[in-house]
Amino acid sequence: MSLYRRFVIAGLGLIGGSLGMAVKRHGLAEEVVGLARRRETIDQALDMGAVDSGTLDPIEAAADADVVVLAAPVMASAALGRVMMPHMKPGSVVTDVCSTKSLLIAELKKAKPEGLSLIGGHPMAGAEKAGVTYASADLFVNARYLLMPVEDHDGHGERLAALVREIGARPEVVELEEHDALVAMVSHLPHAAAQCLVNTVADLGLKELTRLAAGGFKDITRVAGSDPRMWSDIYISNKTEVLRALELFKSQLDRLSDMISGSDEEALLEFLKNAKDYRDGLSG
């Protein structure tokens, strides 16, 4: 059942392209419109069935939109929102799929005209590959999809939650103030740890390590292959919470270092058992 007439996705990367494909597969909008910086991206999205039409002009995309989903990296999404929102009709809604919220929502609130709804969104799904080439209508299946209503005039929150369920995800309302702290720990820190681990090995410059870096190393560092521009934006826009998470992580590394240095087998076993038990509890 169609929930929207004109559904605009501003940014046709992995998440934006996947969202378009999922919305089209389930018939949730009469028209899915893509906004991109390059005509080649729009052509590819059209070929993949991610959009019905596309434009390079953000003002044209905003005109007569029922919903605009900001799906570019966070800094670019803030800039797009500032340009697009003044040209949207009253009663429409702006949402996003960005990994950080505080900076983005603050910028959007400044530019938002009266009568426009604003709802933060963050699908906890993705891949280390960037671009619409890797988009999939199944990307959101069984994923948590966080929603943060900032201002909701016409029940858009319920309609977005219905759309989220239709594409196979699980909507969950969280407080805007909590979001950045939560994702810093469970998303941003793991990426930072993987990136640091890869750079630690890479900086040694040993060919033998390149040959041996397989199996577990590749598994644990998979997310280090994610888009550098996107992650630079994430770290800067969520600076306070990411730095806090890194400090907590460093304290764990220091604990481990002290236990190894002191050959404290009992403490090491307890440390490793705690990690294993918690990790095993995440299996569901």
How do residues 155-174 score in pLDDT, each as one tens digit? 899 999 999 999 999 999 99
- What number is the average pLDDT over the span 273-281? 94
Return the pLDDT at 210: 73
Reported as a pLDDT band with limits 50, 70 and 90, residue 128 is: confident
Return the pLDDT at 284: 53
Domain with CATH 1.10.3660.10 in the chain: 180-280
Q: Is this prediction's pTM over 0.85?
A: yes
With 80 as the cut, is the pLDDT of residue 90 above it? yes
With 60 as the cut, is the pLDDT of residue 234 above it? yes
Which CATH number describes the domain made up of 180-280? 1.10.3660.10
Sole residue written with tokens 């940014």: 11
Helix locations, the chain, DSSP H: 14-25, 39-48, 58-62, 74-84, 102-111, 156-166, 176-183, 189-204, 207-212, 216-220, 228-237, 239-261, 265-280
Burial class (CB in 10 A: 0-12, 13-18, 19+), 217: middle
Cβ-proximal residues to 178 (8 Å cutoff; 6+ apart), any chain: none
Reported as a pLDDT band with limits 50, 70 and 90, residue 53 is: very high
The residues with which 146 forms a beta bridge, in sequence order, are: 122, 172
Reported as a pLDDT band with limits 50, 70 and 90, residue 154 is: confident
Topology of domain 4-174 in CATH is Rossmann fold (3.40.50)
* Backbone angles phi and psi of 243, in degrees to 5: -65, -40
Reported as a pLDDT band with limits 50, 70 and 90, residue 212 is: confident
Return the pLDDT at 283: 61
Return the pLDDT at 206: 80
Domain with CATH 3.40.50.720 in the chain: 4-174
Cβ-proximal residues to 247 (8 Å cutoff; 6+ apart), any chain: none
Q: Name the least confident of 45-54, 62-71, 142-151, 206-215.
A: 206-215
Can you read off the two tokens belonging to residue 221? 């560092």
- What number is the average pLDDT over the span 66-94? 96
Reported as a pLDDT band with limits 50, 70 and 90, residue 33 is: very high
Return the pLDDT at 209: 78
Sole residue written with tokens 């392209």: 17
Return the pLDDT at 208: 77
Reported as a pLDDT band with limits 50, 70 and 90, residue 264 is: very high
